């Protein structure tokens, strides 16, 4: 992915752009659970690159929000791994710099996908417990933003609890033709409109146990379709 024809850096806000013609890495170059043999097309973003980029995002967040108290709002289920790693990097920076970021972590669960399609029916689970956000600096941590409809609805809901400030960290942002709303404040990677799994991202609850972010194959979609 160091090939400049495939990926380029667009600065802190835009993240790393993966171009439409990026084919990914061959599966035989990496290790992954044998039970997913035949269910994946390629390794799209290797685990090591995810971790390096997450560490950079942690540094950006520390630069912007250091010496503040924040509530980290992790969007489940897909965001749990990204959130855990991001928080660990922020904790390490707090221990080893002259800035400190006091964090409380809370969780909310969103469900809007059926198979590989986003639906209009958004379920927010845990929404009744968000009174803790009142008057607080909030960092929403989400694994993937595609059309932006889900994030737009969540932001509207969070604002009802009158937080002092709201920032969003998104590991992945998809380029989709019907996108709405603005980009997250902190973006890991901007990717083409392909259905990806792994690093806690799922397809009907499968593939969360992949370390890498991979593209699911058509065989995999059929195998785990509900």
Quote the pLDDT of residue 156. 87
**Which of 125-129, 173-177, 204-208 shows the lowest per-residue confidence on average (mean pLDDT)?**
125-129
pLDDT, one tens digit per residue, over 40-53 is 999 999 999 999 99
Mean pLDDT (whole number) for 175-182: 74
Residue 9 has pLDDT above 70, yes or no: no
Q: Catalytic residue, from 3, 67, 121, 146: name it.
A: 146
Q: Is the pLDDT of residue 128 over 90?
A: no
In the chain, the percentage of residues whose pLDDT exceeds 70 is: 85
Domain residue limits, the chain:
7-218
Q: Is 146 a catalytic residue?
A: yes
The 3-state secondary structure of the chain reads: CCCCCCEEECHHHHCEEECCCCCCECHHHCCCCHHHCCCEEEEEECHHHHHHHHHHHHHHHHHHHCCCEEEEEEEECCCHHHHHHHHHHHHHHHHCCCCCCEEEEEEEEEEEEECCEEEEEEEEECHHHHHHHCCCEEEEEEEEECCCHHHHHHHHHHHCCCCCEEEEEEEEEECCCCCCCCCCCEEEEEECCCCEEECCECECCECCCCCCEEEECHHHHHHCCC
Options 3.40.50.2020, 3.90.1150.10, 3.40.140.80, 3.30.1330.10; CATH of 7-218? 3.40.50.2020
85-115: per-residue pLDDT in tens? Answer: 999 999 999 888 887 888 999 998 876 655 4
pLDDT at 7 over 70: no
Residue 127 has pLDDT above 70, yes or no: no
């Amino acid at each position: 992915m160091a090939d400049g024809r495939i990926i380029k850096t667009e600065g802190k806000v835009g993240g790393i752009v993966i171009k439409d013609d990026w084919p990914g890495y061959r599966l035989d170059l990496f290790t992954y659970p044998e039970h997913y043999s035949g269910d994946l097309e390629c390794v799209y973003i290797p685990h090591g690159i995810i971790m390096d980029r997450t560490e950079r995002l942690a540094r950006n967040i520390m630069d912007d929000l250091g010496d503040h108290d924040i509530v980290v709002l992790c969007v489940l289920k897909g965001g749990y791994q990204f959130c855990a790693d991001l928080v660990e990097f922020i904790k390490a920076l707090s221990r080893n710099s002259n800035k400190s970021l006091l964090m409380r972590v809370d969780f909310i669960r969103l469900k809007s996908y059926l198979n590989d399609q986003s639906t209009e029916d958004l379920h927010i689970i845990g929404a009744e417990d968000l009174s803790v956000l009142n008057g607080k600096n909030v960092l929403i941590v989400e694994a993937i933003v595609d059309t932006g409809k889900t994030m737009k609805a969540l932001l509207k809901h969070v604002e009802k609890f009158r937080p002092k400030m709201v920032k969003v960290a998104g590991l992945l942002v998809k380029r989709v033709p019907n996108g709405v709303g603005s980009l997250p404040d902190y973006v890991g990677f901007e990717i083409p409109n392909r259905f990806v799994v792994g690093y806690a991202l799922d397809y009907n609850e499968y593939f969360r146990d992949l370390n890498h972010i991979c593209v699911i194959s058509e065989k995999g979609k059929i195998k785990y379709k509900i």
